[in-house]
Amino acid sequence: MSREIKTWSQLRKIKVLDKGLVGYDIKTVGDFLEVGEFEQPHGRTEFLDLDLYKVLALIKSQRVVLDIDFDFELDVNEASVLVDWLDKLNTFFKLRGIACKPIKCNMVVNLGLVQGVEPCDLSGCEMVDLLKLTFLMKDDVGCEDKYNYYFDYLNRDSRSVEGMFIDFLKSPYWYEDYITCLYSDMLSVLLEKYRGRLACGKPVRRIVDVLEDELLNLERLSSKRVAR
């Protein structure tokens, strides 16, 4: 029966039998999510498996008992966060014509014992340390402009696939919004770097303009959702 639940509306109506550690009177999953200030993603009727995984993880952590048993295991790949984030960036750069090549992700898999693995090849069960992302962009005269983004070596949570997934679970965002947040943050980093290169006389005006436009678009979308 639990596999028949596909929409946010259906999920929010599930009744709570025991509120566990929650200090408020909750009668449904919707009440539980409102207590945690988790709102339904705007404009989305159905939830993703990763959204459901997050809901069930939150419920389990608070020892809440539902009147329905989710008696199946979700096939969730922790590496999806990294893969979907890079796909969103690559798609944008390609569509806007500023990518020379796809982003290169340098990482250490299982303490370096596994070589030549791409993010899309990860099962999510590996120990993965992220080293850097290499962006190969096209400047105003069509030449390749290279920028390396280095992950924080001193903070393993921010440079491991497992850490990224746990951060999603702890964040106030549902999956697609979380990926958009990572995407926006990286565009902001790139914009700062390329503004600096432009100020030094590098021919990267088009890259700067594209990044500025996209960040403005994201800001407008965010403002519209808040207003509604």
pLDDT averages per 10-residue partition of the chain, 228 residues? 82 95 94 88 88 94 91 84 98 97 96 90 93 97 97 86 94 95 98 98 98 96 69
Nearest to 145 by CA among 211, 216, 84, 85: 211
- What's the confidence (pLDDT) of residue 42? 75
Buried b (16+ CB within 10 A) or exposed e, 141-171: eeeebebeeebeeeeeeebbbbbbbeebeee
What local confidence, expressed as pLDDT, does residue 200 receive?
97
Interstrand relation of 65-66 and 99-109 (parallel, antiparallel or unpaired) = unpaired
Q: Could you tell me the pTM of the whole model?
A: 0.92
Predicted pLDDT of residue 186 = 98
